[in-house]
Amino acid sequence: MKERLVGIGRRKYVDFHALSPLSFSIEQGETVGILGHNGSGKSTLLKCIAGILRPTTGTIAVRGRLASLLELGAGFHPELSGRENVYINAAFLGIARKEIEKRFDDIIDFAELGQFIDEPVKHYSSGMYVRLGFAVAVNVDPDVLLVDEVLAVGDEAFAKKCLGRVKQFQSEGRTIVVVTHAADVVRQVCNRALVLDHGKLVADTRPTEAIRIFREHLHGALTDDAPHESGPLRISAATITSHDRGAHLAVTVNAETDVHGVAMSLEVSDASGRMIYRVDNAQLGVPVSFAKGRSTYDFDLSSGGLLAGNYPITVRLTDVATSRLLDWHDLQTGLVASHSGVGEGVVDLAAALQQRAHPGDRSPEALVE
């Protein structure tokens, strides 16, 4: 009776599904971004993958050692020092004390906390928490790394350092899952992206397409010629002309003022969004600077031995000092290759096969009746 009387006027409890039924798989060596607005279920999904939350229905299978950097301060005891928390955090990840002792110096060096490593972490700033948590996560030799959007609280120099470690992991064939609001991060490091909306998986596609879908859900449809970023530079046009041997790409940039210290890069992807080639002006030995007004730079590309198909191209302008993305332009109709080679993949390596003859061997023709 008391419960009924007290409950008068209150709203009845209803079931809330943070995630609707969804299904996907991530292959070894993939770097997958998860995009979505606040409340879309991104962090819940990551916690399920990490084993922190158990799904109400369905199963999640993870193969290999998993390390995660999720909520700010997760896995840390506020009264203990950073040094002590390294061992606690590593224990949560299933790392033996002897093993972490071998890697302790690397963790401390990466975190760059100096004398604060012996201070209680309750006195740490959010950035210091991130430094220590990320340093532990990337130094325990994980097969799978999960990173939530807590990286957004780090300073630019440390973010650049983290990005370098992520790229190292990619080259080593490790699997990475990144939850973020930053489209730039997905564009720079991911070869695939998922988009969540109110707990539903609305897209599983290449990063540039996922970003477009994410922004359409968040802000409404974007026009093709809308500026991607506000700033002193904007790519006003990117025009590609294909020919038998490759393509010519003209990139026109409008500058509000004189701008120096900018890198211009070009990336070519396959149909799945996986980057197959990247080059920037520094590698080509061509300095890039922009006077106020309009400037145009020309790329010449060879299709070489690319198998027949359309290879999307992305052009980016990046601040050299901070690695901040200034603007980008996607060309869905990119490098068109017409080479009719044999085999699968993206490139024809002109493979040949023949049988080596050995003394006394019967010829293949003699084996055919």
Please name each of the domains of the chain with its CATH number: 31-219 (3.40.50.300), 233-337 (2.70.50.60)
pLDDT value at residue 74? 66
Helices (H) and strands (E) in the chain, counts: 9, 13
Has residue 4 got a pLDDT over 80?
Answer: no
Number of Cβ within a 10 Å radius of residue 227:
12
DSSP string covering 93-147: TT--HHHHHHHHHHHHHHHT-GGGGGSBGGG--HHHHHHHHHHHHHTS--SEEEE
Distance (Å, rounded) from C-alpha 131 to C-alpha 111?
5
Distance (Å, rounded) from C-alpha 31 to C-alpha 140?
18
pLDDT tens sequence across 35-85: 988 788 888 898 899 888 888 888 999 999 888 877 666 668 889 999 998
Predicted confidence band at 285 (pLDDT cuts at 50, 70, 90)? very high
Has residue 183 got a pLDDT over 80?
Answer: no
Q: Are strands 275-280 and 262-269 parallel, antiparallel or unpaired?
A: antiparallel
Has residue 175 got a pLDDT over 90?
Answer: yes
**C-alpha 195, offset from chain centre:** 13
pLDDT value at residue 272? 56
pLDDT tens sequence across 81-103: 999 989 888 887 778 888 888 88
Query: Which tokens sit at 345?
Result: 């993949």
Q: Which residue would you say has higher pLDDT here, 339 or 263?
A: 263
Distance (Å, rounded) from C-alpha 75 to C-alpha 72?
9
Predicted confidence band at 227 (pLDDT cuts at 50, 70, 90)? very low
Length of the chain: 369
Has residue 133 got a pLDDT over 50?
Answer: yes
Has residue 207 got a pLDDT over 50?
Answer: yes
pLDDT value at residue 292? 93
Has residue 24 got a pLDDT over 80?
Answer: yes
Distance (Å, rounded) from C-alpha 271 to C-alpha 290?
33
Has residue 3 got a pLDDT over 80?
Answer: no
Mean predicted confidence (pLDDT) in 113-136 = 86
Predicted confidence band at 284 (pLDDT cuts at 50, 70, 90)? very high
Mean pLDDT of the chain: 81
Has residue 151 got a pLDDT over 60?
Answer: no
Instruction: Say what percent of the chain tops pLDDT 90.
Output: 23
Has residue 128 got a pLDDT over 90?
Answer: no
User: What is the strand order of the sheet 309-319 is part of?
Assistant: 275-280, 262-269, 309-319, 325-337
Distance (Å, rounded) from C-alpha 21 to C-alpha 26?
17
- Of 307, 303, 310, 311, the closest CA to residue 342 belongs to 307
* Alpha-carbon dihedral 331, 333, 334, 335, rounded to 10 degrees: 180
Predicted confidence band at 8 (pLDDT cuts at 50, 70, 90)? low
Has residue 221 got a pLDDT over 80?
Answer: no
Q: Are 290 and 124 within 8 A, CB to CB?
A: no
